[in-house]
C-alpha cells in the first residue's frame, strides 16, 4: 500500500509533558483518514508537526514520500493544502478578492482558482464580503484557498466545527469528492457520525498515543458490542453478574460489557438459576461513537 503520510516514533514534549507519544501514522493515498481523539489528546499538535509548524522532539515524518525537514519542507508544502484552527481570509474583502490574493501570492493561474471555487461550490457567493458569510461558507472558502495550488494532500483540523446539519452534510460530501478525485484527506473532527460516514481509514489518539489505526471493519472486530439484559430485580441481577463479567445497572436494564456469546449465555443461566425473570437480551449495534468511547475509556471528545 502507498502512503501519503507515515510517521515513526513521532513525539512532542513540552518540558516534562509528553503531548504526542511515539506515534506511527500510516495514511493511505487517496483515503479520507479520520483522526479522532479527546480534547488534549495531541491531534492538533500532530497535524502541526506534519505541516512543519511545530518541530518534533524526536521521531520522523514522511509526507508524500519525502522526509519532512528544514531542507525539504518548502517543496513538500507546495503539494499540501491545510486548514488549521480558524478559517483564513480577510473579512473586509469579498470571497473573490481573497481568492485573487491567494492567486498572486502563490503565482497561480485563473483556471486553478476557478476550479478550487467550483470544487467547494462557492462560485455564486464570491461577490459577498467574507464578513457576511456563514461559518460553513467561511470554511468552504478556507478549503478553496487550500485547494487552489491543487495539492495531493489536504490536512483539515475540525472543518465541521460549529456547522449546522446542512453544513456538516455539505462538508462530508466535499471530503468524499476530494478523495474520489485522488486527493488524500487527513481530517480531525468532533462529528463522529460524519467521520463514520466518509472516512475510509481511522486513527484514534488518547493521551498522546495512537491506540487504534485501521479500517472501520477492523475497529468493529476489535471492540465487542455491549449486551443489554431486561429482567426482573435489576439491582440484584447486576450484583450477581458483576461476579463474572463487567456489568452495571443502567436504569431498568443491566448492561454487560465485553462478553462474547458464551459469556452472555453463562450470564443468562446464572440469572435464571437465581430465579430472576429474563424479558429480553439484545446486543447493541456498533457505532463509531460507542467504539470511540470504549477505546478512550469514556473520556469523549
CATH number at residue 232: 3.30.70.100
pLDDT at 193: 73
DSSP 132: G
Q: Is the pLDDT of residue 1 over 60?
A: yes
- Domain total for the chain? 2
Out of 198, 221, 244, pick the residue that ends a domain.
Answer: 221
Q: What is the mean pLDDT of residues 175-183?
A: 90
Same domain, 50 and 162: yes
Same domain, 266 and 183: no
Same domain, 31 and 92: yes
Residue 168 lies in a domain: yes
Strands (E), the chain: 3-14, 17-23, 26-28, 32-36, 58-63, 66-67, 80-83, 153-157, 184-188, 201-206, 209-214, 227-231, 246-250, 253-257, 278-283
Q: What is the mean pLDDT of residues 59-81?
A: 94
Same domain, 193 and 232: no
Comparing CA positions, the residue from 295, 289, 242 lying closest to residue 267 is 242
- At 247, the pLDDT band (50, 70, 90 cuts) reads very high
Same domain, 195 and 236: no
Same domain, 235 and 100: no
Residue 295 lies in a domain: no
Domain hosting 250: range is 224-285
Between 205 and 87, the higher pLDDT residue: 205
C-alpha–C-alpha distance, residues 209 and 78, integer Å: 29
pLDDT at 170: 81
Out of 221, 250, 267, pick the residue that ends a domain.
Answer: 221
Same domain, 212 and 258: no
Comparing CA positions, the residue from 81, 109, 98, 88 lying closest to residue 181 is 81
Residue 31 lies in a domain: yes
CATH code of 170's domain: 3.40.50.300
Kindly give the residue spans of alpha helices, DSSP state H, lying in 35-187: 43-50, 73-77, 95-106, 110-119, 135-147, 165-180
Same domain, 135 and 10: yes
Q: Is the pLDDT of residue 259 over 80?
A: yes
Q: What is the mean pLDDT of residues 20-24?
A: 97
pLDDT at 87: 77
C-alpha–C-alpha distance, residues 6 and 65, integer Å: 8
Amino acid at each position: 500500500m502507498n502512503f501519503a503520510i507515515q510517521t515513526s516514533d513521532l513525539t512532542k514534549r513540552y518540558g516534562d509533558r509528553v503531548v504526542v507519544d511515539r506515534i506511527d501514522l500510516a495514511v493511505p493515498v487517496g483515503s479520507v483518514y479520520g483522526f479522532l481523539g479527546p480534547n488534549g489528546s495531541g491531534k492538533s499538535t500532530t497535524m502541526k508537526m506534519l505541516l512543519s509548524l511545530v518541530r518534533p522532539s524526536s521521531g520522523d515524518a514522511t509526507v508524500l514520500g519525502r522526509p519532512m525537514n528544514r531542507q525539504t519542507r518548502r517543496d513538500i508544502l507546495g503539494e499540501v493544502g491545510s486548514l488549521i484552527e480558524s478559517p483564513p481570509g480577510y473579512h473586509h474583502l469579498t470571497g473573490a478578492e481573497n481568492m485573487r490574493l491567494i492567486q498572486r501570492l502563490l503565482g497561480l493561474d485563473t483556471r486553478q482558482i476557478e476550479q478550487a471555487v467550483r470544487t467547494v461550490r462557492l462560485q455564486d457567493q464570491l461577490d459577498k464580503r467574507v464578513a457576511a458569510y456563514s461559518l460553513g461558507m467561511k470554511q468552504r472558502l478556507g478549503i478553496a484557498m487550500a485547494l487552489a495550488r491543487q495539492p495531493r494532500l489536504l490536512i483539515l483540523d475540525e472543518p465541521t466545527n460549529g456547522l449546522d446539519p446542512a453544513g456538516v452534510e455539505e462538508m462530508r460530501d466535499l471530503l468524499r469528492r476530494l478523495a474520489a478525485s485522488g486527493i488524500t484527506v487527513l481530517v480531525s473532527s468532533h462529528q463522529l457520525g460524519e467521520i463514520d460516514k466518509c472516512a475510509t481509514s481511522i486513527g484514534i489518539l488518547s493521551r498522546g498515543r495512537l491506540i487504534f489505526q485501521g479500517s472501520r471493519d477492523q475497529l468493529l472486530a476489535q471492540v465487542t458490542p455491549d449486551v443489554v439484559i431486561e429482567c426482573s430485580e435489576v439491582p440484584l441481577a447486576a450484583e450477581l453478574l458483576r461476579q463474572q463479567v463487567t456489568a452495571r445497572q443502567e436504569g431498568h436494564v443491566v448492561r454487560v460489557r465485553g462478553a462474547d456469546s458464551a459469556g452472555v449465555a453463562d450470564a443468562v443461566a446464572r440469572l435464571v438459576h437465581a430465579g430472576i425473570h429474563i424479558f429480553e437480551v439484545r446486543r447493541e449495534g456498533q457505532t463509531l461513537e460507542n467504539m470511540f468511547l470504549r477505546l478512550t475509556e469514556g473520556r469523549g471528545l
